[in-house]
Structure 1
Amino acid sequence: MEGHSDSLLLRMLVIITDKPVEKKVVKILDDFRVKVRYQFRGKGTASSEFLEICGLSESGRIITAGLVLKGSVHGVFEALEEKLKIRERGRGIAFTIPVNGLQSYLLKQLEEDQAENVCGDTERKEEEMKEELKEEISYVMIFAACNQGYSGEVMEAARSAGATGGTILKSRRQGLEEPVKFIEVSIQEEQEVISIVVPKSIKKEVIKEISEKCGCRTPAGGIILSLPVDEIIGLS
């Protein structure tokens, strides 16, 4: 089931770096107890000019995405600056995206686990946090990460709630064994990540269907969240 409004305090942290610093990124996230995270490897298709702007080489890159509380972001960025010099050309980039939906059970676990790293930002009133999403959003992107072999069931659940299609990515669960105990389910190392863009009006229904049929307490071990989509083209 979708999380309560406090999920506005949640961010998806995305770090894009070259492969040689992979272990340093992992260490930083371990230090900040960012346990729910995924890692993707890619060669990239962007032009060399774009890569230069982003501060990335043409070698293989690591994309690491994890869930953090808003109050932890500043500390993570400081660690990236101190240990990776990420602001310097050629070191990579990092950014966050507001998360506007998450299973209540998982959100509660994240809040409890990262509490020691959260600064005063979490004490802001709920009304102030809602200002960040005050612009009208027509579509959302739902991400569902599940154990390998369950992507078909995820899509079936999403379609039953009105979704028309999605994109499946292969990934590897990255981190220590602690995350398995953390959410009390069996999570395979090999993961499938399904991204689905849907109208905001059916977001809750889609998340609910996926969570009930393929959520974190099912054999699929699914973790579901949604992100606001600012602009979109090509979806009828």
Structure 2
Amino acid sequence: MSNMYYMVTITKREYGEEYLRYLYGGGVHCLSAALCEGTAQQKTLDLLGLEKTEKVMISSIVSKDLAGELLRGLMRTMRIDVPGNGIAFTVPLQSVVNHSSLKYLTQGQNFESDKEREMEENRYSLVVVIAQNGHTESVMDAARSANAGGGTIVHAKGISEKSAAQFFGMSIASEQDLIYIVSRQRDEKNIMRAIMEHAAAKDGGVQAVFSLPVNQVVGLRSLLDD
């Protein structure tokens, strides 16, 4: 489905409602939001007397044409390209299980069926790391050694039936961190290798690392100034 994208927008938590209004106004009616935080190094935060950056991640499924309009608007209207404001990117959608799912995900959007699949050149990648809670620093230290910039942390719960412990009849799921790192595609393998060789081997806190193709990015000048 080369004409449909999974679009992710990450910004400061205090901007969340404003960004939601912008996306709703732009024609996106099915959105998911999750609270998350940035990955600035603790020693830098301590030096500046700051806390971890609180952020919100907004995700949706959008058509190719609408994605272009929204990304341009995020730069022109929302000023997402101002350092520290956030980042937005799109991942090509491969498939949707059925028409009713597609209708739900694209409420109010107009799109054409994917009659011809056009090959797209993806210059960027999304590296996703699943790690045990508390191992983010070692993951990001390893990633930065391979030319990665910053990342975003989403706190989650592991729900594997085999690993869930039972406590007074309640299932206690393990705490996990999902770490999202947008990188240049040429750096992707080195970043993933560094994470596995250094962070995973060092303390065993990394459970999985994988990557997805990213075809459009706005809001991260250090990545775009190439």
- What's the TM-score bracket when you normalise by the shorter of the two chains? 0.3 to 0.5
Per the normalisation by structure 2, the TM-score is 0.45
Higher strand share: 2
Which is greater in Rg? Answer: 2
Higher helix share: 1
